[in-house]
Amino acid sequence: MNLAISSHPLIKTLRSLNGNARGAVLTEALWGIPFSLYAPYISVYMLAFGLTDSQIGLITSIGLAGQIFFSLLSGAITDKMGRKRTTLIFDLISWSIPTLIWAVAQNFNYFVIAAIINSTWRITHNSWSCVLVEDTDPDLLVDIYAWIYIAGQLSVFFAPLAGVLINRFSLIPTMRGLYLFACLMMTIKFLAMNAMVTETRQGVVRMQETKGQNLFALLGEYSGVFRQILAAPQTLFTLGIMLVMSIVSMVNGTFWAILVTEKLRIPAEHLALYPFAKSVVMLIFFFIIIPRIRDLPFRNPMLVGFAAFIAAQALLISLSEKNYILLLLSVIIETCAYSVVGTQIDRMLVVTVDAAERARIMSILLVIQVAATTPFGWIAGELSTVNRILPFMLNIALLAVGALLVYLAARLKKPGATAAGTPPANP
């Protein structure tokens, strides 16, 4: 048994990790644990202060609008300041400060301010991605991203503790304590990772190339990078699929808890049971299924994933009150779907982006993604005000579009393409 476990591809990858990938993977749970404790209750926490569905959707859209601005700057900042320094500074700004604000929140204005500051995480998302992948063996990327997801899911095993605390102390006092805990743990994580990683080779090159240039001059060079993206159909299809999943994830993250507590009448203290179940399923899926599909062309796994996602959303909106079992089934199906689609998108993004311009291409892709996602926070809020199942019907339509994009992307013809339309070294 021990020999079988030690020979598992994911275990072998973990044991062989070094450099920046090691620093990123081994510290991830320090962010994931506190996030998993408060995340299921974000929307109901805002409801407890008297915010309406429309106001919650508006806060989401305001945060996304901030993400557009910071996504635009992210490539230039990452190139000029370096991957390592950018990650530390903007991790502290985007998470340590907002968690403090959420901990003392009193009304709508607090949540708006925190959402705007939190939106700077788009900068560190770009720089962190560069730290993770630029000096890492491309053949290990699927396994490394799997471990990032696994670290997040292991963290959710602590999520039921939040339900116990809410049942004991009530929602608002518990959430205040969880946000303070998050501030402490996340800050430790950012400092620990910074101590474990080094600036990437490409980061050193870009820092030298951008030395003496201001941010506006660097932004002026984006037009050429944008044309490079337009000339790369694979990157455009990847962007479209990213956009679909961004909107779906935003809608689920904002309105799932509202639907479950307000329409299905599941008590708030029981919400953490579902992230817990989700983590168990995802861990099993990553260790058993993902290694079996890691080398397959992306088309079939992603089409199955999108179909399962649609089935999960359809089941969710058809549930009757307090149907714990079928709600659990919906969560399980969605988890399996997300495990496949999420890792494949990460893989597609890495291999379809020019490594020499990774930071700036990622910056532009993030701007487009967030700009297109932003209106859907407000739209979903308005839909939820009319009927709380409507945001999830919107998700179903978007997921169908995502499946179509996967099918079309797989039909792209490139030299050396496989039968599924994918180059051997590509997803």
- How many domains is the chain partitioned into structurally? 1
Helix (H) or strand (E) holding 71: helix 53-81
Res. 110: pLDDT tops 90: yes
In a domain, 125, yes or no: yes
Residues with Cβ within 8 Å of 197's Cβ and at least 6 positions away in sequence, in order, are 19, 20, 23, 24, 84, 87, 131
- What is the pLDDT, as a whole number, of residue 308? 95
Residues 334 and 314 sit within 8 Å (Cβ to Cβ): no
In a domain, 2, yes or no: no
In a domain, 423, yes or no: no
- Chain centre distance of CA 120: 14
363: tokens are 């910056």
Mean pLDDT of 160-188: 93
pLDDT for 326-385, tens place per residue?
Answer: 999 999 999 889 888 887 887 777 777 777 777 778 778 878 888 888 888 889 988 998
Res. 419: pLDDT tops 60: no
In a domain, 9, yes or no: no
CATH code for the domain in which residue 277 is found? 1.20.1250.20
In a domain, 427, yes or no: no
CA distance 44 to 246: 21
Residues with Cβ within 8 Å of 396's Cβ and at least 6 positions away in sequence, in order, are 310, 313, 314
Cα angle 222-228-233, degrees, rounded to a multiple of 5:
135
Residues 116 and 64 sit within 8 Å (Cβ to Cβ): no
Q: By percentage, how much of the chain surpasses pLDDT 90?
A: 44
pLDDT for 294-338, tens place per residue?
Answer: 667 778 888 999 999 999 999 999 999 889 999 999 999 998 898
Q: What is the DSSP letter of 295?
A: T
Please give the residue range of the domain that contains residue 120: 20-410
- What is the pLDDT, as a whole number, of residue 413? 54
In a domain, 6, yes or no: no
In a domain, 91, yes or no: yes
pLDDT for 5-16, tens place per residue?
Answer: 566 778 888 888
CA distance 13 to 19: 13
Res. 187: pLDDT tops 50: yes
CB burial string 389-412: b at 16+ within 10 A, e below: bbbbebbbebbeebbebbeebbee
In a domain, 235, yes or no: yes
The pTM for the full model equals: 0.72
